[in-house]
Structure 1
Amino acid sequence: MLSSTSQTTATVQSAAKRPLFAASSGTFIEFFDYGSYSYLATTIAAVFFPPGNPTVALVQTFALFALSFAMRPIGALFWGHFGDRIGRKRALALTIIGIGLATTCIGLLPGYATIGFWAPVLLVLLRFLQSFCTAGEYTGAAILVVEYAPADKRARYISSVAIGCAVGFLAASVVSTLLNGLLDEDAMNTWGWRIPFLLAAPMTLVGVYLRNRIDETPVFRAAQEKGELAKLPLVVLFREHWRALLRTLAIMGVNATGYYLVLGYMQTYLEVEVGLSGFEASIIMTTSLLVYLPMLYGGAYLSDRFGRKTMLMANAVLFLVLSYPIFLLLGISGFAAAMAIQILFVGIFSLNDSTIACFFTESFPAKVRYSGSAIPTNVGVAIFGGTGPLVASWLIAQTGDNTMPAFVMMFVALIGAVALIFTKETKPTKAEAAALNAATAEAEAKVH
C-alpha cells in the first residue's frame, strides 16, 4: 500500500485521465443518433411513413422510437452479466461497434416511397440492434470512469460521460440546424436527413481506437485477482440488492423522462406546438445545449460537495413545481422567450444528469456494479424515456392541451422524490475516499 497521500492522489488522478475520452466517445455517438432522430422527427415521419395526416405520422415516428427501447432491458441483462464477468473494457469494445454499425445502416435505408412497408420495418430492426448495444454503453462508460477516478471527485470525472451525451445532442442539433437552414424540404426528405446517421461510421472508428488503448479498470482487476467476481452476478444482484434496484429504477424515471423530453422532444414541441420554424427551434436547442455543458460540470462539483441525494432531490422538487409554468409559458412565447425558458429547463435538469451516473455506480458493489447499474438505467429508459415523447404527443393530440408534457414530467418527479426519501447518501466520506484512492493506486502500481 502506498504510504504517501500526495503520491496516491497523483497516481489516481493520472490514471483517471486515460479513460475519459474513450468512455465518452461511445456516449457521444449514442446521443448524436438519438438527437438526430429527435431533431429530424418531422422529416423521418415524412420519409418512412405513408403520406397523409402529419400528426399521425409524427406519433408513429415516436412510437417506433419507443418500441425500440423494448430491447434495452434485454440488453441490460446481457451486458450487465458480460461486464461483471469478463470486464468493463471488453464489453465497451463491443457496444460501440454495434451502435455505430446500426446507426450507419439507418442512414443507408430507402424510404417508404421506395420500398413501402419494409422501410419502417427495417428501421425498427436497426433501432432494436442499436438499443440492445446501447443498454451496455452508458452504464459501462460511467463505470469505466468511476473505477479509475479519485473517490472524492467522482462526480466531476464521471461528468465527462454526461458531457459526451450532451455534446452528442449538441452536435446533432448543430447538424440539423445547418441542414434545416441550407436545404429545402425536398432535399431534406431525399438525402439531407441521411447525413447525421452516416457520420456515425468515422466516429465509431475513432471510438474503437481509443477504447483499444486503455487498460481494464483497477477495481475490476483487483476483484479478479482476489477471486471476488460473482459467477452469476444477476443472481447475486436480485437476491441481495433488490431494494436498491427498485429505488434506483424509480429515480431513473426522472432522468430518462427529462432527457428525452427536455433535450430531445422539445425540438418537435417548439415547431409543432409553439409554431417556430425548424431553424428557429434548432437555434434554441443548440444554444440551450451550449449552456448545458458548463451546467453539467457545475452540478457535478456541487454533487461532490453536497452529495448525490441532495442534488437529485433538488431536481425532483423543481420539476414538480416548475414544469407546468414552463410549458404554460412556452405555449404563448415567441422566439426570445422560448429560448430563455428552455435554458431554465435544461438548468433544472442538469442537477439530475450531473449526478445520477455517479449515484448509480455507488449504489452497488463492484462484483454486481455493471448489472446493478445497467438494469435500472435501461428498464427506466424503456418505461419512462422511450415512451416520454410518445405519451406527450398522444396526450396533446387527445386533449388539444399543449401543457400535457408538464404532467408527464411532474408524475415521474413525484415518484423519484418519494424513492429518494428512502435512499441513503452514497457519496463516500473522507475516510472512505482515502481508502478507495489508496486501493486504486496500489492496483495501478502493479500494472505500471
Structure 2
Amino acid sequence: MTEAVTHQPGTMPHPDPSTMKRAMVAGIIGHFVEWYDYGVYAYVATMLAAAFYSDSDPTAGLLAVFATFAVAFFARPLGGLFFGSLADRIGRQRCLATVVVLMSVSTFIIGVLPGYASIGVAAPVLLLAARILQGFSAGGEIAGAASFVNEYAPRNKRGLLSSLLPAASATGLLFGAVLLTVLTSSLSEDAMGSWGWRVPFLIALPLGAIGLYLRLKIEDTPLFQALVSAKQADPTPLRSSLSEQFKWIAVAFGATLTYGVGFYTVMSYMPTYLKEVTDFGAGEMFIVTAAVLLAHIVALPLCGALSDRIGRRPVLITASIALVVLTYPAFVLIAEGRNMFVAILAGAVMGALIAGGAAPLFAFMAEMFPTRLRTSSVSIGYNASVMIFGGTAPFISTFLIDKTGSNVAPSFYLVAAAAGAVFTLLFARTGATTHRDVLRQT
C-alpha cells in the first residue's frame, strides 16, 4: 500500500491531493457506469415489452416491463445488506470494484437474451433474473460510493463532492438517452425493434471494464484504514446497525423519498411518459428529457455547495416543499403536449428541485453514522426506501394513468413522496455532523 495517508492518534487522516482526486474519479465514474447500465432499461421499455412479452395487449406488456423494473428493486436491499456489511468489514474499495463488474455483466446479458418469439415464457423469466442481478449490484453501489466519497472528502466540501454521485447517475441516464436517440434516428423502426435496442446493453461491458480499472487503482479510504489500524472494525455491522442506529436508518429512509421517487418518476420514466401521453416526435421527446437531465445535473453541485454553507436539512426541506407545491402544475404543462418549450421549462424546474433533494442527501446520510457502521446503515435506509417507493414509480405512474384516465396522475405520487420527506426532516436531527463526531463514534 502506498504511503498516501497520514494519520496521528486523535486526528483525522488526510489523503494527499493526488490520491483524493483519483478517489473522486474512481467513485464518480464508476457510479456513472453503474447508473447508465441500470437506467437504460427504462429508456427502451416499450421495445422490451414487444420483445419479451406477448403483443396481445401493449399496456399489459408495458406494465409487465415496469413490474420487472420494480421487482429488481427488491433485490437492492439484499445487495445493500450483503455488500454494505462486507464493505464495513473488508473495505469500500474492493466491494465497489466487485459491484461494477456484476452490474456490467448482468446488463450485457440483457442485450444478448433471446426474445419471447424465440423461447416463449423463458424470455421474461431470464429478463427478470438479469434485472435482479442488476438490483443486487445497485444495492451495494450507492452506499459504498457514498461512504467512499465522503470519507475521502474534506469536511467543507462533502456536500459538493458527494453531489457529484447523483450527477454521475443523471449523466449516465443522459448518455443513454443520447445513444438511444442516435440509434432511433439512424435505424428503421423494424431494425430498432429487432436488434437496435440491444446496443445500449452491449456497451455496458467495455464501460464496466473502465470502471473496474479505475476502482482497482485506488486504495481504501483514510477513515477505513484508520479503523482497521486501530482494530475497531465491527465483526457484525448489520446487527450493530439495526440495534444501535435504527432511529437514524429510519431518518435516512424518509429523507430519501424526494430523490428516490423524483429520480425514477421524472428522470428515468420521462421518455416513456412523453411517448405515452404527448404527441411530441422522437426529437422533441429527447430534447425535453435532455433538458430535464441537464437542469438536474447543473443544479446538483450548486445545491451541494449550498449545503456545505447552510447545512443539509435546510436544502433538503426547501426543495421538498417546493416539489409539493410545483409538481402538479408542472405535469399539467408537460401533459398538454402542445409546446415543447413549456414542457422543457416545467421539466427543468422539477429536475432542479429534485437536485435539491439529492445533492445533500449522501453527505447527510454518511454523516449520521459512525465509520464502522456507515455503509451497512446507509444501505439499509436508502435501499429500503428506493425499493418500496422509488423502483415502483414507473409502474405506479403507468398504473395510475391507466386506471384514472388522468395524464397528470404521476404527480400525485411524487407530491406524496416529497411531503413524506418534509415530515421526516422536520422532526429529525442528524447524528454525527462533524469530523470530531465521526472520529469519536469510530
Say yes or no: TM over 0.5: yes
1:442 equivalent in structure 2: none
Displacement of 1:217 after TM fit? Answer: 0.6
What is the letter of the counterpart of residue 337 of structure 1? V
Pairs within 5 Å for 1:206-225: 206-225=210-229
1:237 correspondence with 2:241: yes
1:146/1:361 contact within 8 Å kept? yes
2:259/2:355 contact within 8 Å kept? no
Displacement of 1:25 after TM fit? Answer: 2.5
Q: CA RMSD in A?
A: 1.9
Query: Matches of 1:107 and 1:73 in 2, distance apart?
Result: 25
1:75 correspondence with 2:76: no
Q: Give the alignment partner of residue 347 of structure 2, picking from 328, 332, 342.
A: 342
Matched residue pairs, number?
Answer: 430
What is the letter of the counterpart of residue 203 of structure 1? L
Query: Matches of 1:425 and 1:128 in 2, distance apart?
Result: 32
1:310 correspondence with 2:314: yes
1:307/1:426 contact within 8 Å kept? no
Query: Matches of 2:273 and 2:7 in 1, distance apart?
Result: 55
Pairs within 5 Å for 1:56-205: 56-205=60-209
Query: Matches of 1:18 and 1:197 in 2, distance apart?
Result: 27
Residues 97 and 34 (structure 1 numbering): CA distance in 2 closer, same or farther, change over 3 Å?
A: closer
Query: Matches of 1:206 and 1:436 in 2, distance apart?
Result: 36
2:13/2:226 contact within 8 Å kept? no
1:443 equivalent in structure 2: none
Residues 210 and 436 (structure 1 numbering): CA distance in 2 closer, same or farther, change over 3 Å?
A: farther
1:254/1:316 contact within 8 Å kept? yes
What is the letter of the counterpart of residue 45 of structure 2? A
- Structure number with the bigger relative contact order (C-alpha 8 A, sep ≥ 6) is 1
2:365/2:378 contact within 8 Å kept? yes
Displacement of 1:123 after TM fit? Answer: 0.4
1:275 correspondence with 2:273: no
2:369/2:431 contact within 8 Å kept? no
Query: Matches of 1:250 and 1:338 in 2, distance apart?
Result: 29
1:260 correspondence with 2:249: no
Residues 11 and 118 (structure 1 numbering): CA distance in 2 closer, same or farther, change over 3 Å?
A: closer
CA deviations over 1:139-170 (Å, ceiling 9, x no partner): 11121111111111111111222221111011
Secondary structure of 1:135's partner?
A: helix
What is the letter of the counterpart of residue 363 of structure 1? M
1:399 equivalent in structure 2: 404
Pairs within 5 Å for 1:12-23: 13-23=17-27
Query: Matches of 1:137 and 1:145 in 2, distance apart?
Result: 12
1:389 correspondence with 2:394: yes
CA deviations over 1:47-99 (Å, ceiling 9, x no partner): 11111222221111111100111111111111111010111011111111100
Displacement of 1:12 after TM fit? Answer: 5.2
What is the letter of the counterpart of residue 389 of structure 2? F
Further displaced range: 155-164 or 88-97: 155-164
TM-score, structure 1 normalization: 0.92
Residues 168 and 403 (structure 1 numbering): CA distance in 2 closer, same or farther, change over 3 Å?
A: same
Question: Unaligned 5+ residue runs, structure 2?
Answer: 1-5
Query: Matches of 1:189 and 1:401 in 2, distance apart?
Result: 29
Pairs within 5 Å for 1:344-359: 344-359=349-364
Displacement of 1:417 after TM fit? Answer: 0.8
TM-score, structure 2 normalization: 0.93
1:72/1:132 contact within 8 Å kept? yes
What is the letter of the counterpart of residue 96 of structure 1? V
Secondary structure of 2:428's partner?
A: coil
Displacement of 1:349 after TM fit? Answer: 0.7
Displacement of 1:425 after TM fit? Answer: 4.5
Residues 11 and 119 (structure 1 numbering): CA distance in 2 closer, same or farther, change over 3 Å?
A: closer
Displacement of 1:350 after TM fit? Answer: 0.8
Query: Matches of 2:240 and 2:437 in 1, distance apart?
Result: 23
Residues 66 and 371 (structure 1 numbering): CA distance in 2 closer, same or farther, change over 3 Å?
A: same
What is the letter of the counterpart of residue 84 of structure 2? G
1:42 correspondence with 2:49: no
Displacement of 1:278 after TM fit? Answer: 3.0
2:13/2:223 contact within 8 Å kept? no
2:3 equivalent in structure 1: none
Residues 427 and 292 (structure 1 numbering): CA distance in 2 closer, same or farther, change over 3 Å?
A: farther
Q: Which runs of 4+ in 1 moved over 3 A?
A: 8-15, 425-428
1:110/1:119 contact within 8 Å kept? yes
Among all aligned residue pairs of Structure 1 and Structure 2, give the percentage whose two residues are the same amino acid.
Answer: 36
Query: Matches of 1:390 and 1:264 in 2, distance apart?
Result: 12
Displacement of 1:206 after TM fit? Answer: 0.8
Query: Matches of 1:415 and 1:138 in 2, distance apart?
Result: 21
Query: Matches of 1:80 and 1:17 in 2, distance apart?
Result: 24
Query: Matches of 1:176 and 1:203 in 2, distance apart?
Result: 16
1:293 equivalent in structure 2: 297
2:85/2:238 contact within 8 Å kept? yes
